[in-house]
Structure 1
Amino acid sequence: MKMTGGNSSGDSEITMDDVTLLIKKKDEIEEQIKAYYDVLEDQGVGVEGPLVDGEGFPRADINLYQIRTARHNISCLQNDHKAIMADIEEALHKLHAREKAKREQDEMEAQEEAMERQVALPRPFARVDAVTEGSPASGAGLRVGDEVIEFGSVNTENFQNLQNIASVVQHSEGKPLRVSVIRAGQKAQMSLTPQRWAGRGLLGCNIVPVQR
């Protein structure tokens, strides 16, 4: 493929600038072809008109050299135009193919990163199955379905039963607790302060253990 700007070493170097240059060259060729057609039109012969009279002698009413030159140049330029159109099509195809491959690679890397993050997360030991509107838990951003991996000093490693969480809550009234959960496959952190409110308990949510 004949690329402008010296970018013939490989597909990886094809850019939109190369395509733009090819299109500019195509436009220049089309302008030249039109100019030569104008010459033929001025002479009144066109591309196929006869250059000899009825007796077979060169016509004296036209500029034979100018016409032959114009016809020859039109033929050459049309070949150039066909070739550059093929170059443009090929360049666009390769450019689009490379962009598609890059998008697919980016998507694959994003999926791999998401999987790595998911694998790196601790296993949850409890799950939130109810959150009351207007409660401390609701205000902290806790949601139904959140899988708990850290609740204050309680974590996956030291959790034994729900009494561990109850004990932390009772001893932390009015004090913020760091709560970490897994939500939609990603880790989310929030600050939850156990405190008296209009409803029951200090949290306003229900937490159940996760079967291991």
Structure 2
Amino acid sequence: SILPQQGDPMGIDSPLVDNEGYPRADIDVYRARTLRKRFHEIQNDHKALVHKIDIGLVEITATSTGIAREEQNHVSFQEPITPFAIIDEVFSNSPAHEAGLKEGDVLLRFGSVNSTNHRDFRAIAELVPVLAGEGKSVPITVRRKQNVEWGEVVEVKTLDLKPRPWEGRGLLGCHINKYTE
């Protein structure tokens, strides 16, 4: 057993040495280090697997079977899509600009990332470098308001964004902020 005979159980962050710098006598230090090493290996494997799943979900979303690319610009309203972010700045000559993103676009989906799983944009921050490294693009669905002669028109578009290094900051070339109605 890795539990000490007295006191609190040994945890992942518990010191392996006593106050004087000697190995603790109440635990098997070698076994504790081995278990900690294995724990960190599993943690890293888990992170890598989550990245692979995200990429797979993006690919599945991007290559929906039986749907032509033109048809992807028309979003089905069978399931409600909740906005979660707004594009408040798009830089010239950036990947976002080339994809057709505009300031004021409301983000509905970013590949497989949506209002239920964006984790305060961490999901996007984790996905973008992976896509850029693999040279892959991601379908993003936006809601855009346009003023016309007779009033305001709201359209939903799916754009193809390819994250990559460019002459500005980041890999997208736009600023994404939290959306509030």
Greater Rg, structure 1 or structure 2?
1
Relative contact order: is structure 1 or structure 2 higher (C-alpha 8 Å, sep ≥ 6)?
2
Length-normalised TM-score, structure 2: 0.49
TM-score (normalised: structure 1) = 0.42
**Going by fraction, where is helix more abundant, 1 or 2?**
1
